[in-house]
Amino acid sequence: MDAISRWTPSVSSVQKARVLLVGAVGAGKSSFFNSIYSVFKGHVSCRANTGIAGTSLTTQFRVYSIKAGGKFLPITLCDSMGLEEGANAGMDIDDFTNILKGHIQDRYQFNPSVPLQSDSPYFSKTPSVQEKIHAVVYVMDACKVNLLSDKMIEKLSSFRRKANHMGIPQVVLLTKVDEACRLVGEDLKQLYQSQYIYKMMQEVSVHLGVSLSNVVPVKNYYKELELELNTDIVLLNAVQQILRTAEMYFDDISCEEE
């Protein structure tokens, strides 16, 4: 927690790493934010809408800051509409691109049929580096890796190609590991010993074309009433990995400025 609180971007014009959470409906994007918020709050809390639904509960673009010890953490988590298979369902790739470029503002209401237009009051015409996305986090349900359809894999791949083209580093969060593996469900300390979770990480790596070291297993708080140390450690490890990923973006900017 201390290392995360003290982290600073290597680019002086930026105060926080701005991170976009992307994933299928129900993968655990909002739950991840709530879980990190809970760890730093000191008790289980819920700020973002979560639940089980066929369509995305997140219908707005939301920008969340987290306060710890009276000051804000150096990371902003942006929650987006869930990905869906249909052509006019879930987040559109044009909206995704506009978010990456910093054009979309907080509380923009997604419309899967029509992406944000440049004449909208929610469209920022000249975004600063601080408003752009510095890292993309794909959130995937470990229980559903084997059930990913070709359409969903292609949608995720097209998003990855877009982020790659824009030079934005990416990481994958593999959620619900406690539900996917009985061993881990009984004892979270077994997370990195689980052959099943390792196999799921390998499959995600192949499906999305990301290196295995960029696939991070995690357990969100979703039914617990109290914080639990091992869950906190796994969550904080994920945040640290995300910040290291964002640092690659800032390193590239620094090199360009030189």
Helix/strand/coil (H/E/C) assignment for every residue in 154-203 = HHHHHHHHHHHHCCCCEEEEEECHHHHCHHHHHCHHHHHHCHHHHHHHHH
Burial tier of 198 (Cβ tally within 10 Å: 0-12, 13-18, 19+): middle
Q: Is pLDDT at 122 greater than 50 in this prediction? A: yes
Residue 89 pLDDT level (bands cut at 50, 70, 90):
low
Whole-prediction pTM value? 0.91
- DSSP at 53: -
Q: Which of 76, 122, 75, 77 is closest to 95 using CA atoms?
A: 122
- What is the pLDDT, as a whole number, of residue 245? 95
CATH 3.40.50.11740 is right for the domain spanning 2-257: no
In the chain, % helix, strand, coil (3-state, to 5) comes to: 45, 20, 40
Highest-scoring range by mean pLDDT, 31-35, 81-85, 153-157: 31-35
Query: What is the side-by-side order of every strand in the sheet holding 62-68?
Result: 62-68, 71-79, 17-23, 135-141, 170-175, 215-217
Sequence ranges of the domains in the chain: 2-257
Residue 223 pLDDT level (bands cut at 50, 70, 90):
confident
Average pLDDT over residues 221-240: 95
- DSSP at 130: G
Contact criterion met (CB below 8 Å) for 77 and 64? yes
Contact criterion met (CB below 8 Å) for 216 and 241? yes
Residue 33 pLDDT level (bands cut at 50, 70, 90):
very high
- DSSP at 52: -
